Amino acid sequence: GEEVAQTPKHLVRGEGQKAKLYCAPIKGHSYVFWYQQVLKNEFKFLISFQNENVFDETGMPKERFSAKCLPNSPCSLEIQATKLEDSAVYFCASSQYPPRASAYEQYFGPGTRLTVT
Amino acid sequence: GQQVMQIPQYQHVQEGEDFTTYCNSSTTLSNIQWYKQRPGGHPVFLIQLVKSGEVKKQKRLTFQFGEAKKNSSLHITATQTTDVGTYFCAGRQASGGSYIPTFGRGTSLIVHP
């Protein structure tokens, strides 16, 4: 598609429950990025993929967070045993070119608002 | 690690006034990007600056990249209510570190009609 699609739009989980978020990048884009936005203005990079391979996972909390991008499937971000501080909007972005390329542009999806109660 | 500071955090202006947001990095950047996020929306890519001292214009928006490639600014001339939103810069380190740009905390622009 021409836009990054994210589902669900909203997700409510009780503390300790699992949460799974999905992202379909723009067709033809090889790079996918996940960000966590808390308090409206702070973006935290989590992980990125080049096709199905992890490109950069320096921001990923490894204990409870995992992510995959499998061929012919939406990418996913999973949080095991959610905590209150995981409440945030999770954005997925895709790009055709890698971050070091001069033509690099990220296109963001509408986000998934996760509320942990 | 790399830090990208953005000021001011908020800016209230009357419609028709100018607006500027500033972005400063603790390290030299290879490039810097600017995004706009409307309230309740998602970030939308505006522009990427790559060259030292580069200036680019998009209608009423002027983007500058500092000579030392450690700072950048976005200036909006004669703001309109449609300019309301949060403007983020995102800079990528010139050497070492992650390839992924680091986002500033954004400047929220409020335009009063």
Three-class SS state of A25: coil
Indicate whether A1 pLDDT > 70: no
Q: How confident is the model at residue A62 (pLDDT cuts 50, 70, 90)?
A: confident
Which range marks the domain in which residue B55 is found?
A: 4-112
Chain B residues with CB-CB distance to A110 below 8 A: 41-42
For position A40, what pLDDT does the model report? 67
CATH number of the domain that A11 lies in? 2.60.40.10
CATH number of the domain that B100 lies in? 2.60.40.10
The count of structural domains within chain B is 1
Whether residue B42 and residue A91 make contact (CB cut-off 8 A), yes or no, is: yes
Using a pLDDT cut of 70, give the percent of chain A over it.
Answer: 98
Dist. CA A9–CA A22, nearest whole Å = 10
Indicate whether A104 pLDDT > 90: no
Q: How far is A14 from chain B (nearest CA, A)?
A: 24
Q: How confident is the model at residue B94 (pLDDT cuts 50, 70, 90)?
A: confident
Indicate whether A51 pLDDT > 80: yes
Of A52-56, B14-18, B27-31, B101-105, where does the model show the most confidence? B14-18
**Residue of A35, A93, A100 with shortest CB distance to B99:** A100
Indicate whether B34 pLDDT > 90: yes
Q: How confident is the model at residue B1 (pLDDT cuts 50, 70, 90)?
A: low
- Mean pLDDT, chain A, as a whole number? 93
Which range marks the domain in which residue A57 is found?
A: 5-101+108-116
The count of structural domains within chain A is 1
Per residue in A68-85, pLDDT (tens digit) is 999 989 999 999 999 999
Q: How confident is the model at residue A11 (pLDDT cuts 50, 70, 90)?
A: very high
- Mean pLDDT, chain B, as a whole number? 94
Whether residue A58 and residue B92 make contact (CB cut-off 8 A), yes or no, is: no
For position B61, what pLDDT does the model report? 98
Whether residue A40 and residue B33 make contact (CB cut-off 8 A), yes or no, is: no
For position A25, what pLDDT does the model report? 96
